[in-house]
Amino acid sequence: MTPRLLRLGLTGWRRHPAGTALSFLLLLVGATAVMLAVQLRAVALDPWQRTFDATNGAHLQAFGATPDVARVADLPGVTEAADPLPHVITSLVAGDRTFALRAFGADQPPAVERPLLTAGRWVGGGAEVALDVAYARSLGLGVGDRVTLRGVDGARPFTVVGLWVLARDEQYPANRPGEGFVGRADLERLQPDSGRWRWSESVRFARPDESDIAARAAFSRLPPGVAVQTWSGRLGDAQETQRATTIVLEVYGVVLLAAVALVLASLVGTRVLERAGELGLLKAVGFTPAQVVAVVLAEHVALAAMAAVAGSAVGVWLTPRLLADSSVLLGAAPTPLSPARVAATAAVVMATAAAAAMAPALRVGRSTVARSLRARGHDARPNRLSRRVPLERPLPVTLGVKQTLGRPGRSALTAAALTLSVGSLVAGLAFEATVRHEDALELADQARQQADARAGELAPTAPDPVPVSDATREQLKPIVHGFNGVLAAVAVINLAATALVSLRRRQRELAVTRAVGLTPRQVRLGVYWADGLLGVVAAVAGIPLGTALFLGVYQLVNGSTERAALPPWWQLALVPVVTVAAVVAVIAGPARAASRLGITTALRQE
């Protein structure tokens, strides 16, 4: 591609500033989304390992009723061991609710399996507690909040001074009871009888893969009643979570790129056709069809390259903000902009732009010079479909519908892009509905288990009034919300582009209908109907699409759709309403302007 071709491509930007801005915005959103996906993969897929490293995680842990658990530190290959850590099971009262709490007693963070503070500080003076962040979040507690811990001699007031994370196989509430650290003196106050304390010991090996063998060896040396857990067991569980994240990321990535490509194709197609005369001129002065195609591609690929760089920056900025919402991930630390990831993003976005520009570019390249010079873009024209609609009152409605049907290719592209957006919204709603449904199922299970436990006269533990939530779900939430937001942005840009492009093209036509006697209001109504129709189509097609998408992903993640739930009917009923309202909101401004533009001004255009 010679510099001259590139320069010619660039003049296209100046000639059509609004279209260029929209294309750039769209590519930017697309690039952001791709970068987000790439970053999330990089950051979110290995949160366990990152957390494990940051907390000097234990390769082997032993649990028991006596400090003897510390004997695992004598196993061969152990390089580092913490002091044995005592804890008691107590109750935490926050407001009028009571939750079980495993309270560890440590004045200093343990050397191994050392909690990483995400907020506040370690416990210092008396009556202070540092809580597991997932537990605190679930209970709605933060640093500075006051809680009550039940000791053997009654309730004691505590203040939450810190929140921390550890590399778990499962997070609260799946992993119960919730955990917190108090000072050693406070532990003694809660349970003065140290014989009733329970103990844990965390050690690290020089060669972590030896820990499983060591664990087997440990059983023979340890007194009965001592349990051990190795890091590989914990990792296995964590990987299960990652698999789900991968699937969701990839499905969303594909949906998003498809949406961006569809909108781009429609946007680029319009721009190229608008410039057909200009491009025909290039051919008239001696450009070969290949060179004309190159000019068009240059224009859009260069735009995509710029958008990719900007989008990468936005994506890098956005990733930790999305993840910060998750209690599970330790991905909150900013990940630097890696050249490889930017390159990957740019490649994907530029390829999408090139693919979208290729078809219209080829069409212009192939057509004869005379035809390109004559081309004025495609007006809507009567076809088999639009003829089916009789010209009938209310005229704005039938006129609008006929205009949409008279432009089937463009309308289909716009509707498809809108459908993807609506579909992803529906999938998001189904995700939320399933979260609620699973919570309800969990609560029912817990109640049943509790009843079973009472019946068996086992030591009753107070159940937390919080459903056991799946770590996978918690991890997916920010991703689903983030991507839905990006898809919504694509949908809005798509609408704005459609409104802008189609209104500019229809300006003459609208002016003609006004000269015939349509009032400005009727003209606006016609525009609303022309584009609102696409919204209805998208909503109707988007609901089954979104449902199928969600069920498909759920099946991939969970192996069955047994526990999946669909959004309540009223939400589904709102989807078309919201879609059409969004369409009308976006096109209202341009439609108003178009209906007020002087008739003669509009007729002069082109």
Instruction: Write down the least CB distance from residue 381 to another protein, Å.
Output: 4
Residue that is written with structure tokens 């406070």 in the block: 186
3-state secondary structure of 242: helix
Tell me if 256 sits within 8 A of 488, measured CB to CB: no
3-state secondary structure of 75: coil
Pick between residue 515 and residue 577 the one whose CB is nearest to another protein.
515
Between CA 186 and CA 120 the distance in angstroms is 19
Beta strands 97-105 and 178-182 are: parallel
Q: Which helix (H) or strand (E) holds 539?
A: helix 520-558
Between CA 427 and CA 548 the distance in angstroms is 8
Instruction: Write down the least CB distance from residue 599 to another protein, Å.
Output: 5
Instruction: Write down the least CB distance from residue 140 to another protein, Å.
Output: 56
Task: Report CA dihedral (374, 377, 380, 382) to the nearest 10 degrees.
Answer: 40
Pick between residue 27 and residue 276 the one whose CB is nearest to another protein.
276
Pick between residue 100 and residue 599 the one whose CB is nearest to another protein.
599
Angstrom distances, CA of residue 373 to CA of 7, 41, 311, 501: 21, 48, 36, 20
Between CA 577 and CA 569 the distance in angstroms is 13
CB within 8 Å of 424: residues ≥ 6 apart: 252, 255, 256, 259, 483, 484, 487, 546, 549
Pick between residue 140 and residue 589 the one whose CB is nearest to another protein.
589
3-state secondary structure of 167: coil
The partner residues of 228 in beta bridges, in order of sequence, read: 62
Pick between residue 350 and residue 511 the one whose CB is nearest to another protein.
511
Pick between residue 321 and residue 374 the one whose CB is nearest to another protein.
374
CB within 8 Å of 145: residues ≥ 6 apart: 94, 159, 160
Instruction: Write down the least CB distance from residue 537 to another protein, Å.
Output: 18
Between CA 354 and CA 299 the distance in angstroms is 10
Alpha helices in 63-209 (DSSP H): 133-139, 184-190
Give the type of residue at 242: Q
Calculate ∠ Cα 435-479-541, nearest 5°: 75
Instruction: Write down the least CB distance from residue 404 to another protein, Å.
Output: 9
Instruction: Write down the least CB distance from residue 406 to another protein, Å.
Output: 4
Instruction: Write down the least CB distance from residue 272 to another protein, Å.
Output: 20
Pick between residue 8 and residue 380 the one whose CB is nearest to another protein.
380
Pick between residue 297 and residue 415 the one whose CB is nearest to another protein.
415
Phi (first) and psi of residue 223, to 5 degrees:
-65, 160
Pick between residue 59 and residue 402 the one whose CB is nearest to another protein.
402
Pick between residue 387 and residue 436 the one whose CB is nearest to another protein.
387
Residue that is written with structure tokens 């219209």 in the block: 360
Tell me if 356 sits within 8 A of 303, measured CB to CB: no
Pick between residue 164 and residue 528 the one whose CB is nearest to another protein.
528
Residues that bind another protein (CB under 8 A): 379-382, 386-387, 390-393, 395, 399, 402-403, 406-407, 508-509, 511-522, 596, 598-600, 603
Instruction: Write down the least CB distance from residue 587 to another protein, Å.
Output: 17
Instruction: Write down the least CB distance from residue 360 to another protein, Å.
Output: 20
For the chain, give the number of residues: 606
Instruction: Write down the least CB distance from residue 437 to another protein, Å.
Output: 47
Instruction: Write down the least CB distance from residue 443 to another protein, Å.
Output: 57
Half-sphere exposure of 74 (CA within 13 A, CB side): 9
Residue that is written with structure tokens 């009888």 in the block: 193
